[in-house]
Amino acid sequence: MRYLSEYRDPKLARSLVRRIRSEATRRWTLMEVCGGQTHTIVRQGIHDVLGDSVEMIHGPGCPVCVTPLEQIDRALHVASRPDVIFTSFGDMLRVPGSACDLFQVRARGGDVRIVYSPLDALDLARQNPDREVVFFAVGFETTAPANAMAVWQAARLGVRNFSVLVSHVTVPPAMVALLEAADNRVQAFLAAGHVCTVMGWTEYEPLARRFRVPIIVTGFEPLDILEGIWMAVRQLEEGRHEVENQYVRSVRREGNVPAQDVVSRVFELVDRGWRGIGTIPASGLGLRPEFSDYDAELKFDLRHIEARESEDCMAGDVLRGRIKPMECPSFGIVCTPERPLGAPMVSSEGACAAYYSYGRFSAHEEGSAGTAAPRHHPSPDDTRQEPAPVAGGGTSRA
Ligand code: SF4
């Protein structure tokens, strides 16, 4: 496939692996921020072929996974109302709330619809003036511009029966929280290329200086990941700590300025809870007061809804890179994609789903409590295509 196969070339992959292994004089610990990168690493077995040169730990960049449980419960509550058409990208529908998920709400008669864009939800509102249309605005900086544009358009057109349930998070504050943690092990980051396509990388430069940590803006294909790892290892070996851009085919230093402009007109920075992690100050986007008429939390009085996480789900430790998914005692036993306990097992970018789907584990190799059978053991030579995308797009790679 043109434009993809060249980023999956086995010969080039082997050459990059050789470089990483020969240039690393010790074992470095790298974190890939994005769940899409985690899936590439696990599916292609990249962490296995790095040997003693690099340990990859998986970061919190799965927007579905970090959406707080109470926000899922608020979505379930409003989606159950008979006067509401609840719209969302497809990957939110199977995320478990305290009692059920959005698919179950739909099975019980709720009008829950998958859309491919928040502007489709706005169109639905214009076509159904006697109903309230709510869009579940979840994601990192990647999806924020389209969601901001939908609210902006609704205000411009005077559409009053449209609102958004916002759970936007931003990457840099999460990186700071990880680096400030007493048990931090991250020595370099692979930053999420699609987030940087929107935001550029200027906001990462002070982080690289302050924490003396290399940050490589990296894409999502196997060669992107391997080149990003090699660039990080080279910096670590040379004692440098800079922001470098591996994803040159998509990212510019200043990012997409018009997209940033619409985001800052509609949203402002707010404290935001991260599922399994807790509240990180100024880590989320919330609607500015002038757009409060479009805030579903206010319109439907949802803020009183609180929730308690399952004590059996260790998603917080997985999302902070403290444990690998198979170290969770529930992995593959009481938590599977069919019966998930936590969002990382159902999201198309969740680390638990990656380990379960691609079988990059075994109880023997990893000392894991997990007993689920491995599904597939690919290698760097395996240039299989991406799995079919989740219907209705996703909150991150949409
Ligand atoms: S395996 Fe399941 S229960 Fe364990 S951390 Fe992942 S989602 Fe949570």
User: Rounded to whole angstroms, how far apart are CA atoms 236 and 59?
Assistant: 19
- The pTM assigned to this predicted structure is 0.88
pLDDT per residue over 378-389, tens digit each?
444 443 344 333
37 CA to middle of ligand 1, Å? 19
pLDDT per residue over 67-92, tens digit each?
999 999 999 999 999 999 999 999 89
DSSP string, 115-182: -SSHHHHHHHHHH-TTSEEEEEEEESTTTHHHHHHHHHHHHHHT--SEEEEEEEE-HHHHHHHHHHST
92 CA to middle of ligand 1, Å? 17
User: Does the beta carbon of 64 lie inside 6 Å of ligand 1?
Assistant: no
According to DSSP, residue 384 is labeled P
195 CA to middle of ligand 1, Å? 25
Q: Which residues contact 2 (CB under 8 A, 6 or more apart)?
A: none
Confidence of residue 361 (pLDDT cuts 50, 70, 90): low
User: Does the beta carbon of 42 lie inside 6 Å of ligand 1?
Assistant: no
Mutate to test the pocket of ligand 1, among 65, 67, 318, 320 (most ligand atoms within 8 A of CB): 318
Beta bridge mates, 28 = 54
Q: State residue 368's pLDDT score.
A: 41
User: Rounded to whole angstroms, how far apart are CA atoms 357 and 348?
Assistant: 10
Q: What are phi and psi of 157, to 5 degrees?
A: -90, -5
pLDDT per residue over 190-235, tens digit each?
999 999 999 999 999 999 999 999 999 999 999 999 999 999 999 9
pLDDT over threshold 70, residue 374: no
Residue nearest (by alpha carbon) to ligand 1 atom 1: 331
Residue nearest (by alpha carbon) to ligand 1 atom 7: 342
User: Does the beta carbon of 335 lie inside 6 Å of ligand 1?
Assistant: yes
Q: What are phi and psi of 54, to 5 degrees?
A: -145, 135
User: Does the beta carbon of 318 lie inside 6 Å of ligand 1?
Assistant: yes
Angle CA 328–333–334, to nearest 5: 90
| Pairing mode of beta strands 188-192, 278-287 | unpaired
Q: Return the CATH number of the domain spanning residue range 1-393.
A: 3.40.50.11740
